[in-house]
Amino acid sequence: MKRILLSTTSYQDTPGAHHGLLASQGYEIVRARGPLPESRMLELAGEFDGFLCGDDDITHAVLTKCAPRLKVISKYGIGLDKINLSACQELGVPVLFTPGVNHTTVAEHTFCLLLALVRNLVDSVNATRAGKWTRITGNELWQKKIGIIGLGRIGQEMIKRCRGFEMEVHAYGNYWPEEFCAAWQVVRHETIESLLAAVDILSLHTMLSASSRHLINADRLAYLKKGALLINTSRAELVDAAAVLAALNGGQLGGYAADVMEHEPPAPDELLLSHTKSIITPHIGSRTFESVPRQAMRATQNLINFFNGDGEVFYATRD
């Protein structure tokens, strides 16, 4: 009997056909509540044939402890930065993922955060719940200039929504879909600095890698217009949190909204959580009753098809 570690909480907490599909395979399922740090992964790691994981720390040490029995990692989602891919290749463990299942959902949440920032939604709701009638003046998005870094599926969905609000869209990315950008009237920038200087709002939609870690730092924040807004629904490490906090306190940033934190859950005294100019949501950008079953079905089917040796499998990396 194959033994599987299931650690993604979205998968476990949301109803859907994926539960029945996984149960029908006769696997032994060991359940844990992720995202799991390396220490917990090392405690659990051992005799597993596969991982069905979220954003757990799957390090070289974890993979080594699971070798040689571990045959596959099926990632619920598309972010692979928590998985040591070079170690996977070294040990011959392929990594599967679920592209194309959550881009509309994340784009919707990103726009939700943006609207909440410009219309002071959280402060207004908190005031009315406290019995006050505090009428805070906000801003329109109409004709504002937004910068998008990363033009993959989520970035493109975000651009569509921005153009629906008649925003002026500027973008930067190594991948540039020519036809799409022409159709949606996207202004191309050759450098990040050029993009930052041109926009009122910056939204991040790129993958985390060694080269993109702290992509937005103190030096680059200085290029933004004073009072600009920053949105991050990708990976927390794309921004230098200390620099963002300083920019909020100094007025360089007018607001910061994020769905990701470097440590999840963050410490209760994390200053960005309570800052009056920030809105932090608990990594729920793709957590909807529509998106979770899509991702979960794809991750489960990937796992099943891999073990059965037939059917479509979405490989992020092969051994």
Distance set, CA 315 to CA 174, 264, 285 (Å): 22, 27, 23
Q: Which of 189, 205, 220, 235 is catalytic?
A: 235
Q: Is the pLDDT of residue 4 over 70?
A: yes
- Are 116 and 254 part of one and the same domain? yes
- Are 66 and 184 part of one and the same domain? no
In which band, very low, low, confident or very high, does the pLDDT at 110 lie, cut at 50, 70 and 90?
very high
264 classed as catalytic: yes
Q: Which of 103, 189, 283, 294 is catalytic?
A: 283
Tokens of 125: 């709701």
Distance CA(106)–CA(114), nearest Å, equals 12
- Are 217 and 206 part of one and the same domain? yes
Q: Which residue has the tokens 């998106």?
A: 291
The residues pairing with 83 across neighbouring beta strands, listed in sequence order, are 58
The pTM score is: 0.90
- Are 265 and 302 part of one and the same domain? no
Distance CA(240)–CA(226), nearest Å, equals 18
Q: Which of 28, 43, 262, 264 is catalytic?
A: 264
- Are 234 and 301 part of one and the same domain? no
In which band, very low, low, confident or very high, does the pLDDT at 16 lie, cut at 50, 70 and 90?
very high
- Are 176 and 302 part of one and the same domain? no
- Are 272 and 293 part of one and the same domain? no
Distance CA(151)–CA(134), nearest Å, equals 39
pLDDT for the residue numbered 319? 59
User: pLDDT (tens digit, 9 = 90+) per residue, 258-274?
Assistant: 999 998 889 999 999 99
CB atoms < 10 A from the CB of 238, how many? 22
283 classed as catalytic: yes
- Are 155 and 235 part of one and the same domain? yes
User: pLDDT (tens digit, 9 = 90+) per residue, 54-74?
Assistant: 999 999 999 999 989 999 999
Distance CA(181)–CA(188), nearest Å, equals 8
262 classed as catalytic: no
Say which CATH number the domain at 144 has.
3.40.50.720
- Are 162 and 255 part of one and the same domain? yes
Q: Which residue has the tokens 């219309």?
A: 119
Q: Is the pLDDT of residue 83 over 70?
A: yes
Mean pLDDT along residues 154-171: 98
Q: Is the pLDDT of residue 47 over 90?
A: no
Tokens of 313: 């499998």
- Are 182 and 251 part of one and the same domain? yes
CB atoms < 10 A from the CB of 312, how many? 8
In which band, very low, low, confident or very high, does the pLDDT at 311 lie, cut at 50, 70 and 90?
confident
The residues pairing with 50 across neighbouring beta strands, listed in sequence order, are 4, 72
User: pLDDT (tens digit, 9 = 90+) per residue, 207-229?
Assistant: 999 999 999 999 999 999 999 99
Helix, strand and coil content of the chain, in percent to the nearest 5, comes to 40, 15, 45
- How many structural domains comprise the chain? 2
Which structural domain, as residue segments, surrounds residue 74? 3-101+289-317
- Are 113 and 185 part of one and the same domain? yes
pLDDT for the residue numbered 187? 98
Tokens of 146: 């937004």
- Are 165 and 218 part of one and the same domain? yes
pLDDT for the residue numbered 253? 98
